[in-house]
Amino acid sequence: MRTPAATVGVIGGGQLARMMHAASIGLGLRLRLLAEGPDVSAAQVVRDVTVGDYTDPATVAAFADGCDVVTFDHEHVPTRILHDLETAGIAVRPGPEALVHAQDKAVMRARLRELGVPCPVNEVVPDAAALVTFGDAHGWPVIAKTSRGGYDGKGVWKLDGPEQAGVPFEGLDGLRANAVVIAEEYIDFTRELSALVVRRPGGQAVAYPISETVQTDGICTATTTPAPGLRPDQVRDLQAMALRIAQELGVVGVLAVELMQRADGSVVVNELAMRPHNTGHWSIDGAVTSQFENHLRAVADLPLGSAALRAPVSVMVNVLGGSRTDLLGGLAEVLAADRAVKVQLYGKDVVPGRKVGHVTALGEDVGDVTERAWRAARMLMGDDDE
């Protein structure tokens, strides 16, 4: 490939690809999109769009032909297709050996155990009886997860007792064929954190400040950056852990490490993601270099940019589909009410609970900034009575 890469292929046409495109324009990179449909979020704004099925090897091969590098809006491209691309001489970033850790939670848990990274006690369970044995040994409730195909709270179950042990195995049928069930210790966490890093092929890496994230029904709904109440040494330790995982797994691009923090301050890893991540959306407005720009710089093998804060506090709140369907009308209200709030709309039809945009407020005082961000998000959702 040419170094740095000039044409970046992105598989998947969601809002992550859409926001990557906005970041690609200034870098002078050519973004090429493989989209699920002609008018999905990113396809509305990118010049060079192929509509096709990312699970079809011939479609992906034709799309990738002419790209200097291929990267992703999501983690669902089958590993064998990615190996085919590499065999054909196309750079794939992150590569399939790294990406499998974001695709398969069983592989991820095994690898993190090898690395000594703190995780909930966990075990692959072949059937309900094994799950009951796990629960009786480690205590109930138990968290059960499908190893593949889960997202935004789907494919995760909290099981209160042995009588519910069959549930995840029923749920599995609707998910990936090659998925297994993982039983995990229930962590009584007080809050969730995200450690987001970006790594370049040669190993150069940057770590963003740690974010506190609010999850509602398994969906990230808000982040505060930097996470309040962390000591500087805790921040450094969490960043170092995420950088180490990125290096050991050979990640290129963004790695988001989702963490659960207990009352005593200790953390365990919940999930890994290898693409720009909802917990890093604040960086578009709140960091010197956004996660989208740094992801592109990483996969194109360009030097990474500063991940430093541009304001003391950034609060991002997701706009989920609510009672308001007229987002542009909502936007006019939001912009009239707050001259400094930043809005990203994703070009999606409003469906209840669907992520259709996000807002970011910046400032000095975490209370004020949080209130501004939520007020703007509520105006866009139409849930003023919340």
Give me the residues that bind a copy of itself (CB under 8 A), please: 2, 4, 6, 18-19, 21-22, 24-28, 30-31, 43-47, 49, 284, 288-289, 297, 301-306, 308, 310, 327-329, 331-332, 335-336, 339-340, 342-347, 357
Q: For residue 192, give the 3-state DSSP assignment.
A: strand
Q: Using the minimum distance from each CB to a copy of itself, give the nearer residue, 162 or 363.
A: 363
Largest Cα–Cα distance in the chain?
58
Beta bridge partners of residue 360, listed in sequence order: 316, 342
Q: What is the closest distance, in whole angstroms, from the C-beta atom of residue 326 to a copy of itself in the complex?
A: 10
Q: Using the minimum distance from each CB to a copy of itself, give the nearer residue, 128 or 304.
A: 304
Spell out where the chain has E strands.
Answer: 7-11, 30-35, 48-51, 69-72, 91-92, 122-125, 142-146, 156-159, 181-185, 189-199, 205-207, 211-216, 219-225, 253-262, 267-273, 313-320, 342-345, 355-363
Q: For residue 325, give the 3-state DSSP assignment.
A: coil
Cα pseudo-dihedral 341, 198, 17, 54, rounded to 10: -160
Q: What is the closest distance, in whole angstroms, from the C-beta atom of residue 204 to a copy of itself in the complex?
A: 9
Helices and strands, counts by H and E, the chain:
12, 18
Q: What is the closest distance, in whole angstroms, from the C-beta atom of residue 67 to a copy of itself in the complex?
A: 15
Beta bridge partners of residue 220, listed in sequence order: 215
Q: Using the minimum distance from each CB to a copy of itself, give the nearer residue, 204 or 234.
A: 204
Q: What is the closest distance, in whole angstroms, from the C-beta atom of residue 120 to a copy of itself in the complex?
A: 36
Q: Using the minimum distance from each CB to a copy of itself, give the nearer residue, 23 or 112.
A: 23
**With helix as H, strand as E and coil as C, how does 234-282 read?**
HHHHHHHHHHHHHHHHCCCEEEEEEEEEECCCCEEEEEEECCCCHHHCC
The amino acid at residue 385 is D
Q: What is the closest distance, in whole angstroms, from the C-beta atom of residue 30 to a copy of itself in the complex?
A: 7
Structure-token pair, residue 104: 């398969």
Q: Using the minimum distance from each CB to a copy of itself, give the nearer residue, 10 or 119.
A: 10
Handedness of CA 128, 129, 132, 138 (dihedral sign): negative
Structure-token pair, residue 371: 């209130």
Q: Using the minimum distance from each CB to a copy of itself, give the nearer residue, 215 or 294.
A: 294
Q: Using the minimum distance from each CB to a copy of itself, give the nearer residue, 6 or 110.
A: 6
Q: What is the closest distance, in whole angstroms, from the C-beta atom of residue 363 to a copy of itself in the complex?
A: 11
Q: Using the minimum distance from each CB to a copy of itself, give the nearer residue, 191 or 281.
A: 281
Q: What is the closest distance, in whole angstroms, from the C-beta atom of residue 311 to a copy of itself in the complex?
A: 8
Q: What is the closest distance, in whole angstroms, from the C-beta atom of residue 328 to a copy of itself in the complex?
A: 5
